[in-house]
């Protein structure tokens, strides 16, 4: 499959955006770092990376990007902090979410950095589990009816799809395994 | 389940990229930092400018300060231990700080050895003045490197010197032949395997941040344009006349570091920055960057 004509935007305000761009480069997709409103109009999809959700949330408001992402109807993928931002509600009142996926998030649900870990995520679309990095990770709670669970860790939800939006509580961009990004491109963008 | 591995440690450093880490001494300051958009705070008893002014032995912060700050903010909380003081580090790990800075800002506890950081689950950040120093710290297990700069000076000149030096040293390694790398490792006093890795990839194996002297949005953007991936601001915020506004401006300047119009906009209306010191006026023995090797 030729991805050359596909451009994916990566929200580049703060966090692990460069690692997402590196992964997409490896998959042969065109990428664009998004820092200004309207830049996303030129993209076939958008990734909201991990980082600090309070920081990213403030920068979204500061740069008037919140409304653009709220209205964006092409595929999106939020990892960690990005997943918190796309969720319906976070347990932390400091975060104003974008309410794009009917699911709640609990911030830093596993604890502080000493509790961060690497573990296998079981995927619904592939027999081989995904070795995933969880950094001060959130948990996904109370999914709405139309939310499809794509990945679990010890039975807990770690990766979901709702219409054309993916959320993961882990960081596929920190590994060399491209399967999660491939899924986003093949199943949501190039379907 | 794999906790505390090198990958997990570097993972947090990756999440801090493109952000600002601010020194704070009270929960109120921590709140101001978080509200301004800091990606993390460094919990301290005294900021570097005050350590410099008041003298005496500078040690790890008391657990009370750290706990109070942890319960106030949701962003990662870092804390400093003295160079070589692995028991202070053990205590900080027990307090579950998110990152430990083995820092030259505090009075060194060991003039020969740094902490063996591989023994810890919590990640460490260490300062450097050149690539050899950076790679020695990475060899000991540091998951993040920052320039030393000259903390508490409000003067960016040393941070610039250290960042340029690291970049120049990295570039030089990439131009060497395989049979020249052992001599380069010997000359730098750095672990050979990491020297080889840097020669091959052209970058540090861990993120590279800037610290030591950032006082204005322009300083932060300068360090980012020189290759820093995030900026630590110590005395620059709470020694200024407008901490909240300045903190927010520095956060924006770090994200929009290559947009001069935005930099002009965020710099508008700020009050006076911290006064700052000419490096030449700091006696040789009082220069913090000289601590550690």
**Residue of A52, A114, A136 with shortest CB distance to B4:** A114
Q: Please give the full DSSP string across A20-89, using - where no structure is assigned.
A: HHHHHHHTT-EEEEE-STTGGGG-SEEEE--S-HHHHHHHHHHTT-HHHHHH--S-EEEETHHHHHHEEE
**Residue of A55, A94, A116 with shortest CB distance to B12:** A116
Residue B245 touches partner A, C-beta closer than 8 Å: no
Which ipTM was obtained for this model?
A: 0.96
Q: What is the DSSP letter of A189?
A: I
Query: Which residue out of B4, B11, B40 would a mutagenesis test of the A interface target, given it has the greatest number of A Cβ atoms within 10 Å?
Result: B11
Is this prediction's pTM over 0.90? yes
**Residue of A14, A133, A174 with shortest CB distance to B39:** A14
Residues B4, B121 contacting (CB under 8 angstroms):
yes
Place of tokens 């160079």: B83
- Report the interhelical angle of B192-201 vs B157-174 (nearest 10°): 90
Per the CB < 8 Å rule, is B252 touching A119?
Answer: no
**Burial zone of B202 (CB within 10 Å; 0-12 exposed, 13-18 middle, 19+ buried):** exposed
> What's the mean pLDDT in A2-12?
88
Q: What pLDDT does residue B29 have?
A: 97
Per the CB < 8 Å rule, is A52 touching B3?
Answer: no
Residues of A noted as catalytic: 80, 171, 173
Q: What pLDDT does residue B272 have?
A: 86
Has residue A32 got a pLDDT over 90? yes
Per the CB < 8 Å rule, is B39 touching A51?
Answer: yes
Q: What pLDDT does residue B1 have?
A: 81
pLDDT in tens, chain B (293 residues): 889 999 999 999 999 999 999 999 999 999 999 999 999 999 998 888 888 888 889 999 999 999 999 999 999 999 999 999 999 999 999 999 999 999 999 999 999 999 999 999 999 999 999 999 999 999 999 999 999 999 989 999 999 999 999 999 999 999 999 999 999 999 999 999 999 999 999 999 999 999 999 999 999 999 999 999 999 998 999 999 999 999 999 999 999 999 999 999 999 999 888 888 888 899 888 889 999 98
Six-digit token string for B107 = 């009075």
Q: What pLDDT does residue A190 have?
A: 84
Count of helix runs (H) and strand runs (E) in chain A: 5, 12
Q: What pLDDT does residue B219 have?
A: 97
Residues B225, B257 contacting (CB under 8 angstroms):
yes
A136-157 pLDDT, tens digit each: 999 999 999 999 999 999 999 9
Six-digit token string for A152 = 């679990």
Residues of B noted as catalytic: 80
Which residues lie across from B147 on neighbouring strands? B128
pLDDT band at A4 (very low <50, low <70, confident <90, very high): confident
- Report the interhelical angle of B260-267 vs B217-225 (nearest 10°): 160
Taking CA atoms, what residue in B is nearest to A116? B3
Nearest-5° angle of CA B171, CA B176, CA B181? Answer: 105
Per the CB < 8 Å rule, is B98 touching A58?
Answer: no
Has residue A1 got a pLDDT over 60? no
Has residue A66 got a pLDDT over 60? yes
For all residues of chain A together, what is the average pLDDT?
A: 95
pLDDT band at A2 (very low <50, low <70, confident <90, very high): low
Has residue A34 got a pLDDT over 90? yes
């Amino acid at each position: 499959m030729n991805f050359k004509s596909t451009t994916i935007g990566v929200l580049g305000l703060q966090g692990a955006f460069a690692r997402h761009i590196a992964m997409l480069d490896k998959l042969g997709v065109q990428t664009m770092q998004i820092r200004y409103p309207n830049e996303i109009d030129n993209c076939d999809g958008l990734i909201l990376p991990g980082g600090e959700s309070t920081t990213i949330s403030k920068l979204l408001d500061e740069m008037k990007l919140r409304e653009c992402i709220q209205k964006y109807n092409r595929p999106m993928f939020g990892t960690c902090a990005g997943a918190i931002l796309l969720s319906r509600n976070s347990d932390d009142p400091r975060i104003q979410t974008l309410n794009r996926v009917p699911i709640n998030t609990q911030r830093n649900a596993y604890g502080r950095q000493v509790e961060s870990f690497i573990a296998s995520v079981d995927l619904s679309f592939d027999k081989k589990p995904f070795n995933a990095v969880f950094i001060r990770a959130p948990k996904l709670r109370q999914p709405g009816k139309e939310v499809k669970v794509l990945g679990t860790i010890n039975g807990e939800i770690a990766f979901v799809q709702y219409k054309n939006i993916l959320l993961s509580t882990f960081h596929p961009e920190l590994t060399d395994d491209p399967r999660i990004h491939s899924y986003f491109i093949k199943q949501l963008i190039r379907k | 389940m794999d906790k505390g591995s090198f990958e997990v440690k570097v993972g947090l450093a990756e999440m801090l990229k493109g952000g600002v880490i601010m020194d704070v001494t009270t929960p109120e300051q921590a709140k101001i930092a978080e509200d301004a958009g800091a990606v993390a705070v460094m919990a301290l008893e005294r900021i570097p400018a005050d350590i410099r002014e008041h003298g005496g032995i500078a040690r790890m912060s008391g657990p009370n300060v750290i706990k109070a700050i942890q319960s106030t903010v949701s962003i990662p909380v870092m804390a400093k231990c003295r160079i070589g003081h692995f028991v202070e580090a053990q205590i900080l790990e027990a307090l579950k700080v998110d990152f430990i800075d083995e820092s030259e800002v505090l009075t060194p506890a060991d003039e020969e050895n740094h902490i063996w950081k591989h023994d810890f689950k919590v990640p460490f950040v260490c300062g450097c003045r050149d690539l050899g120093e950076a790679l020695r710290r990475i060899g000991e297990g540091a998951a993040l490197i920052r320039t030393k700069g000259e903390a508490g000076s409000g003067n960016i000149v040393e941070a610039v010197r250290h960042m340029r030096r690291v970049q120049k040293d990295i570039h030089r390694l990439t131009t060497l032949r395989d049979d020249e790398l052992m001599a380069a490792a010997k000359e730098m006093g750095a672990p050979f395997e990491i020297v080889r890795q840097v020669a091959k990839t052209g970058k540090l194996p861990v993120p590279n941040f800037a610290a030591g002297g950032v006082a204005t949005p322009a300083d932060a953007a300068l360090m980012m344009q020189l290759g820093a991936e995030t900026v630590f601001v110590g005395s620059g915020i709470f020694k200024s006349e407008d901490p909240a506004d300045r903190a927010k401006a520095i956060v924006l300047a770090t994200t929009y570091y290559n947009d001069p119009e935005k930099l002009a906009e965020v710099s508008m209306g700020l009050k006076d920055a911290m006064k700052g010191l000419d490096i030449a006026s700091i006696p040789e023995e009082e220069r913090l960057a000289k601590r550690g090797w």
